[in-house]
Chain A
Amino acid sequence: MSGVWGVGCYDDGARRVAWPVSTDEMDRDLGAGARRIGALGIGAGDRVLICSMLSEAAQHWPLIVGVMLSGAQLSCADSTAAEATRVAMFLRRLPYDAVLGVGPALLDGLEALGHDPAAVFASVRVVGAHPGASDRLRALGVPVHDVALCGPALAIAPTPGAPAAVDTDEWTLDAHDGRIVVSSLRPRAHPFVRTPTAIRGAVVDGGVVPESPSRG
Chain B
Amino acid sequence: MTALPPPSARFFDEAVETMPRGALRDHQEALLLELLPHAYEHAPLVRHAWDAAGVHPRDVRDLDDFCALAPFVSKDAIRRYRDGSTDPFGGVLAVPLAELTAVMSTSGTTGDPTLVPEQWGRGRGPAALSRDFWGMGVRPGDHVALVLFTFRGPTYGFVQGMGGIPVLFDFDPAEMERFCEASLEYRPTGLYNFGSALIRAVADACDRRGFDPVDVFSSYRGVVFAGEPLGRRSRELAEAWGIELFEHTGVGDVTYAFECGEHDGLHFWEDTVFVECLTPDGDEPVADGGRGELVATTLFNRVAPFVRFRSDDLVRVTRAPCACGRTHARLWPIGRKSDEVVVDGRSVLPVDVWDAIESVDASAAGLFQVVRSSTTADRLQLRVGYAPQFATRLDAVADEVRDAVVAAVGVDVAVELVPDDALLRLGPPHKIPRVAGA
Give me the interface of A with B, judged by CB distance under 8 Å. 4-9, 16, 18, 45, 47, 50, 52-55, 57-58, 61, 64, 68, 73-78, 80-83, 85-86, 89-90, 93-94
Contact = CB atoms under 8 A, between A and B. Distances in A.
A90 B100 contact: no
A214 to B, nearest CB: 21
B151 interface: yes
B390 interface: no
Given A4-B165, A54-B169, A73-B103, A85 B182 contact: no
Contacts of A85: 108, 112-113
B168 A73 contact: no
B78 interface: no
Contact of B105 (A16, A54, A82, A89): A89
B32 interface: no
With a 10 A CB-CB cut-off, give which of B149, B152, B181 has the most chain A CB atoms.
B149
B113 A89 contact: yes
Nearest to A51: B150
B80 interface: no
B104 A75 contact: yes
A151 to B, nearest CB: 15
Given A5-B160, A7-B182, A81-B425, A86 B150 contact: no
Nearest to B171: A54
Nearest to B186: A7
B168 A8 contact: yes
B149 A64 contact: no
Interface in B102-131: 102-105, 108, 112-113, 115, 120
Interface string B416-434: 0000000001111100000
Contacts of A94: 88, 103, 115
The number of chain B residues touching the other chain, given as a range, is 35 or more
B156 A57 contact: yes
Nearest to B115: A93
Contacts of B165: 4-7
Interface of B: 88, 98, 100-105, 108, 112-113, 115, 120, 143, 146-156, 159-160, 165-171, 175, 178, 181-182, 185-186, 425-429
23 contacts: A6-B167, A7-B143, A7-B167, A18-B167, A18-B181, A50-B150, A53-B150, A54-B147, A54-B149, A55-B175, A57-B168, A61-B154, A68-B120, A74-B101, A74-B153, A78-B149, A78-B150, A85-B112, A86-B105, A86-B151, A90-B115, A93-B88, A93-B115
A9 B178 contact: yes
B278 to A, nearest CB: 30
Contacts of B155: 54
With a 10 A CB-CB cut-off, give which of B102, B120, B171 has the most chain A CB atoms.
B102
Contacts of A57: 150, 154, 156, 166, 168
A113 to B, nearest CB: 11
B170 A53 contact: yes
Closest 7 pairs between A and B when the two form their complex, measured CB to CB: A82-B427, A93-B88, A7-B167, A6-B166, A74-B102, A76-B150, A53-B170
A77 B102 contact: no
Nearest to B105: A86
A82 B428 contact: yes
B98 A78 contact: no
Contacts of B143: 7
B124 to A, nearest CB: 14
A89 B101 contact: no
B106 to A, nearest CB: 9
Contacts of A83: 151, 427-428
Contacts of B170: 53-55, 78
Nearest to B87: A93
Contacts of B167: 6-7, 18
B98 A18 contact: no
Contacts of A8: 168
B104 A76 contact: yes
Given A74-B102, A94-B115, A82 B425 contact: yes
Nearest to A19: B168
A9 B102 contact: no
Given A6-B165, A54-B170, A78-B149, 18 more contacts: A6-B166, A7-B143, A7-B165, A7-B168, A52-B150, A54-B150, A55-B168, A73-B100, A73-B101, A74-B102, A74-B103, A75-B103, A78-B429, A81-B425, A82-B425, A85-B113, A89-B112, A94-B115
A77 B112 contact: no
A16 B156 contact: no
Contact of B102 (A5, A52, A58, A73): A73
A157 B175 CA distance: 29
